[in-house]
Structure 1
Amino acid sequence: MQQQLDKVMEEADGYMESLEKQENPWVNLFKQNRLASHGMPLKYIPPSIVDGEIVVELDKAEVEKENAKWRCALIAYVIGEVLGYKYMRRYIDRTWVDVTEPELFLHEKGYYVVKFQDIGDMKKVLCSGPHTINNKPIILKQWSAHLDFEAEFLTEIPLWVTFPNLPMSCWGSDSLSRVASAVGHLTFADECTTKQTRISFAYMLIEVNVTKPLPAMENVIDPNGIKFQQDVAFDWKPEYYGQCLKIGHECPPPCAPPPPNEQPNPAAQPE
């Protein structure tokens, strides 16, 4: 019943979004953007000359101050679809109800920056995944100052990974880190894994490179030299298409070569 209700709400949101695009286009939000009275006064700071080239040197204190403003932010990308701003806004308001309303910013490259009020809210949303909208996965990744969206974000993706029947001797923080590092870069373990309140499997958020095959098993050797195989399972596996260098995008099949011209068989010709 709840799934049917969510579907109806999503369809209604889609209809409302189409109306809003007609009545209040996104560009109208910035109509007054270039008025001097709305802008920031700046001053001339001459660049440096290094090895005969003009180089802009940034102030460390100011850069750190600006970075600090975004340390509670997540990058959100919906695979296979660029959602309208108001559609995404409604989704957040209706779904992430356990956190203070975050700020939302749309980048022209098709992803959103969701800026939370504090680290706790950010981690709460990140830990509660995986998230979907219109049956499409939402990739969430913590913002970083040096994030290159095109080069990194669509290949290095945080995925929830399950390690079924992991021996209890491997549940220490160092052992969990080693087990997870064979898959990718560990972000954190969920609360049940951390507190060992659920012992049938360990559950961790790991940043993996989806351009490479995702493992279904890994080899582990304990301090006594005993080797065992540990199963690895993913909540979902994004499909990466090498031809288009994209995830969630089906490359068109290559065109079949034209059939060779058939030459008439002289023996088959009537005399």
Structure 2
Amino acid sequence: MLLRGRVLPKSTIFGGFTSSSGPDHTGPTEGGDNDFELLEGDVNTTIIDGVPAISFSDRIKNILFREMELTVIVKLLGHNIGYNALHNRILSLWKPVNSIRIMDTINGYYLVKFHAIKDYNRVLSQGPWTVYDQYLTVQLWTKHFSPAQPYPSVVLAWIRLSNLLGHLYKRKIIEAIGSFIEKMVKFNVQMDNQTRGRFACLAVYINLEKPLISQVFVDGAV
């Protein structure tokens, strides 16, 4: 991690997220500076090649990861957007029932934390979302995310399964196939045999850092 001198937004200094939209409903993902204590062994410090290094125990990491539940990463492609402008736009787009919290990072990435799982799931499963006629990428937060990367590594994409045998067009079967390919968030099954035939469209999150899957075997058939 490089340390560089720059003026930080207030939201990135203390508390992290700035709350917005509606009444604040504290839920299981609500975090705070005093929610946990640092015990002996939780903080390890050393010097590596003359550079100070600090690391935290798995116990602390798990606490911090839990506080990031119901958090998504957003980035507006092809356009720089300020905090206030994005804040107003996503409230208008998503219309969350409960309050959300927003934190700006670097490279145009923002973290959005939801208090209601319904709001969280709806934002992930619907879309595509556009702001100023530009695509607003929305991806799940994971512990591997780094705002240092210039472009998102995970994108939402629709894939089509068009050669399934007729008896396989069942909700549970389609869900199993989609979850096997990637993390699935939504699907649609076309069942009209007389006009367009049968096919299934799945909305899945694709990791662009991994080889893309172009086909899959289902019960021995491609």
Category of TM-score, reference length = shorter chain = 0.5 to 0.7
Residues 178 and 204, structure 2, Cα contact 8 Å, conserved in 1: no
1:185 to 179, 182, 198: 182
**Greater RCO, CA 8 A, separation 6+:** 2
Q: CA deviation at 1:124?
A: 1.2
TM-score (norm 1): 0.53
Q: CA deviation at 1:203?
A: 2.9
Deviations 1:26-50 (A, max 9, x none): x69639x69xxxxx7999x873569
Counterpart position of 1:115:
113
Deviations 1:114-143 (A, max 9, x none): 110033321111111211112211111111
Counterpart position of 2:132:
134
Q: CA deviation at 1:189?
A: 3.2
2:10 to 14, 17, 30: 30
Residues 155 and 210, structure 1, Cα contact 8 Å, conserved in 2: yes
2:122 to 98, 121, 124: 124
| SS, match of residue 120 in structure 1 | helix
| SS, match of residue 47 in structure 1 | strand
Counterpart position of 2:44:
47
| SS, match of residue 61 in structure 1 | helix
User: How many residues are treated as equivalent by the alignment?
Assistant: 185
Unaligned segments of structure 2, at least 5 residues: 1-6, 15-32, 192-197
Whose strand fraction is larger, Structure 1's or Structure 2's? 2
Aligned residue identity for 1:169: H
TM-score (norm 2): 0.62
Whose helix fraction is larger, Structure 1's or Structure 2's? 1
Task: Say which one has the larger Rg.
Answer: 1
Aligned residue identity for 1:105: M
C-alpha RMSD of the superposition: 4.2
